[in-house]
Amino acid sequence: MSTVGLIPRLAKEEAAVLAREMVRWLGFRTHVPLVEEEAGIEGVPSAPGSVIAAAADLLVVLGGDGTLLHAASLCNGREVPILGVNLGTLGFLTEVPRERALPLLEMALAGQLTASRRLMLSVEVRRGDAVLLSGVVLNDAVISKNALSRLAILEVAVDGRPATTYEADGLIVATPTGSTAYSLSAAGPIIDPNMDAILLTPICPHTLTQRPLVLPADVPVRVRLLSPGEMFVTLDGSHGRPLELGEEVWLKRAPQRTLILRNPEVDQFAILREKLRWGIR
């Protein structure tokens, strides 16, 4: 008997309908379904998301990539396999289409799906020795300005050595998984999600000589804000805090991974061709 946690996208009726269908389907097969209670779906067994992630043998995301990022954040160091059913738009991470949800769920429960073990980054915002914010990201940590701030000056050190200084609207520090998210819209490169690397992508840099940088995942990165202004650090688009003059953002490889179950009916390049319309004039 397996405990299966269902993480539906909030306020999406299609996700609620599918969650109820999966609860019935799993119950008939003697599995234990639990739906994240924050979704507010009535008539199904539910529990807080953090409780579900602590007990589940499998998490099933019913939504888009943002919902999968939320599910990954619930795991709190546990490497729980996640099956992503795409009810959103792009769906780089949620590879399973709605019509194939139940067959692929059956394969997941039978151990027939391969897991892609995705790199995560541990992030700390520091002022001297004080840690002001900490967390783990699957996609990215973003340092960005508000609408009225001037260009930021961001000093980057890699493995304790000075690397470069970016003058830009901000900086995206992304994993390979996050290379198809905000970093891509800022002209960053696409990195195979199975690689271990850290990607630095400046946001609207002041000069064309300031380019994205791909680093090995085993070297720590430190970013220090050298200019006054209203800057903000955001972790995976969900939470963050202001960044003030002299404060630093420290990033390194996290000890845990996010396990995303792959859809064997598609490959990574097929996803890129579909989502990015490669080769379409």
Whether the Cβ atoms of residue 144 and residue 203 lie closer than 8 Å to each other: yes
Per the annotation, the verdict on 236 as an active-site residue is no
The alpha carbon of 9 is separated from its chain's Cα centroid by a whole number of angstroms, namely 15
Q: Which residues contact 217 (CB under 8 A, 6 or more apart)?
A: 119, 196, 197, 198, 253
Q: Which residues contact 24 (CB under 8 A, 6 or more apart)?
A: none
Whether the Cβ atoms of residue 70 and residue 39 lie closer than 8 Å to each other: no
Cα separation of 100 and 52, whole Å?
24
Whether the Cβ atoms of residue 6 and residue 35 lie closer than 8 Å to each other: yes
Beta pairing class for 248-253 and 221-225: antiparallel
Place of tokens 């943002």: 66
Name the DSSP letter for residue 60: E
Residues designated as active site: 65
